[in-house]
Chains A and B, each alone.
Chain A
Amino acid sequence: MADKEERKIVIPGETIVSGDEYLPGEGTEKNGQDIIALKYGLAEEQNKLIKLIPLSGKFSPRRGNVVIGKVEELTFNGWVIDIGTPERAFLSLMEVPRFVNKDALEEVMAVGDIAVLKIWSINKRGIDLSLKARGLGKIGEGLIVEVNPNKVPRIIGKEGSMIKLIKDETGCNITVGQNGLVWIKGEKVEDELLAKKAILFIEENSFVSGLTEEVTQWFGKNNGKGNTAEDKE
């Protein structure tokens, strides 16, 4: 770990580095002098701070994350929503920016509906969600694609470069939830399917460096021919 640029593959419980001067960062823990990995992933050091980029595992929620979830249950004062976390995620009536008839919650969202939400607090009881921001709300139509939550940063790309590329190539609207659910909406189903394929391609090749270029090439090969023709090859 002497080299700053070096990334090391670690498994949970492995000592990444040992020494009092190091600080444990995301995904790591300090035990005596040792910095121990809590997840399977790539460990890197920045100014004596040890960070771990997970390669697999569940979505770990953070405040402010935009997520896509599915309504699991209606209660008397809100909705229980599945966002793929072990903890229970709840959307309270108070967090819906419009009038809601308390006797007819299903008019806003019924069981099975999909919505884009924001995590506004995480506490002992679970996760609290909100609809009070721009771009949040129930999803009417489109395609939902499920990817590994740890691959979401690659799908978005540096400052959104990758997602912009997909949007430009397919003409679809794409919302990426931090929990690994992606909502695609385009004018034609073919466009949506092309965007879905591109996202799955990125997920599969997420370890490749210079991925944006690779995806541009991929679009060159796959675009225009139409989805059906390409599958038949």
Chain B
Amino acid sequence: MKTPKITIDRIKKYLAEGKRFDGRKPEEFRDLEIEFGVSKKAEGSARVKLGNTEVIVGIKMGVSEPYPDSPNKGNLMVTAELLPLSSPRIEAGPPRFPAIELGRVIDRGLRESHFIDFEKLCIEPGKKVWTLFVDIYTINDDGNLLDAGGIGAVAALMNAKIPKYDEENSRVLHDEHSEENVPLTKERPISITGYKVGDKILFDPTREEEDAGETKVTVGISHGIISSMQKGNETDLDTEMFGEMIDMAEKVWQDLVTKIEKFIK
């Protein structure tokens, strides 16, 4: 069931005092946990836990034709699937708005940060390039799938090994992974989503808090600068608050980077 209005009123009332139900500060993230290589068959995979929210991201690679406007660049496809097991409010069936939004926002975060060196994913210009399929599966939805999925996508890409390619028969040998990593830059992009709840801003909401959120802005940060941005939900956001949100996101970014670094050896 969707969070009832009276609970939302309580969240807003409590947040006006600068407090949250679980005792966190408005800009504080929940405990983060990253596990690499959860799937043996995929080219790369990662499981990310953010409090009770849990996502698994898998990378598959295939060889296909490049797009006409970028003949010497590889392709990237990000899709998200909200599994019914992750929340009682998700139904099986074709992807609906939240799933599409999740895939698109994370796609933009990865693409605009130039995290992946697409030119190195080219096998034969104009004919054959690698396509990266990034698939996001939600295991448990307790809010903030956007950030958990974004961290998961980056982690899975770092874990990925390019499979061997049989040039003669033009077949990808999925069972044999080479030692070659996906060409990535050193700087890892992180997307952070700020939510406007009442007249306050908070980060990393739980399911209830996300329901209370009127507007959200996802900011993709890479190399310490903002590389992508996406506003969600229908409600408006004034300039002052928008500025405040960006400032806070930059602060949160610092903390989150140190949290993520712990899991990367």
Q: Could you list which residues of chain A lie within 8 angstroms of chain B, going by C-beta atoms?
A: 70, 82, 84, 112-114, 139-144, 146, 181, 189, 192-193, 227-228, 230-232
Contacts and interface: CB of A to CB of B under 8 A. Distances in A.
A154 B4 CA distance: 24
A82 B1 contact: yes
Nearest to A229: B23
Given A141-B10, A181-B1, 15 more contacts: A70-B1, A84-B1, A112-B4, A112-B5, A140-B6, A141-B6, A141-B9, A143-B10, A144-B7, A189-B10, A189-B13, A189-B14, A228-B19, A231-B23, A232-B23
**A contact patch SS:** mixed
24 contacts: A70-B1, A70-B4, A82-B1, A84-B1, A112-B4, A112-B5, A114-B5, A139-B6, A140-B6, A141-B6, A141-B10, A142-B6, A142-B10, A144-B3, A144-B4, A144-B7, A146-B1, A181-B1, A189-B19, A193-B21, A227-B23, A231-B22, A231-B23, A231-B24
Contacts of A189: 10, 13-14, 19
B23 A143 contact: no
A179 to B, nearest CB: 10
Contacts of A181: 1
A43 to B, nearest CB: 27
Nearest to A228: B23
4 nearest A-B pairs in the assembled complex, by CB-CB distance: A231-B23, A228-B23, A144-B4, A114-B4
B10 A192 contact: yes
A181 B10 CA distance: 17
Contacts of B5: 112-114
Interface residues on B, range: 10 to 19
A227 B10 CA distance: 16
Contacts of A230: 23
Contacts of A140: 6
A113 B14 CA distance: 20
Most buried by A among B3, B7, B19, B22: B7
Interface string B1-38: 11111110110011000010111100000000000000
Contacts, number: 41
**B contact patch SS:** loop
B36 to A, nearest CB: 29
Nearest to A138: B6
A228 B5 CA distance: 24
Contacts of A231: 22-24
Contacts of B13: 189
Contacts of A84: 1
Contacts of B24: 231
Contacts of B2: 70
A70 B89 CA distance: 15
Nearest to B23: A231
B259 to A, nearest CB: 17
Contacts of B3: 144
Given A84-B1, A189-B13, A189-B14, A144 B6 contact: yes
Nearest to A83: B1
Most buried by B among A84, A181, A189: A189
